[in-house]
Amino acid sequence: MTPVKVIWRPSKQLTPEESARLLRLLFVPQVEQSNQLKRDRMKRQIRD
């Protein structure tokens, strides 16, 4: 997996909205992943 820094080089003509959208695209998957982990942990606790 290539580092985000290499993939995403902000260009000069990028508007704040576009850069925000890019950042969201980059970080949302990580947030989703951690939420999934939390959910799994909760389920495990219920089973025990």
Confidence at residue 12, expressed as pLDDT on a 0 to 100 scale: 65
Residue 38 CA to residue 46 CA, distance in Å, equals 13
Quick: pLDDT tens for 7-46.
556 556 778 888 888 888 887 777 788 888 888 988 888 7
Name the token pair of 48. Answer: 């025990």
Rounded Cα–Cα distance for residues 18 and 11 (Å): 11
Domain ranges (residues) in the chain: 16-46
What's the pLDDT score for residue 1?
52
Q: What is the reported pTM?
A: 0.36
Per-residue pLDDT, 19: 80
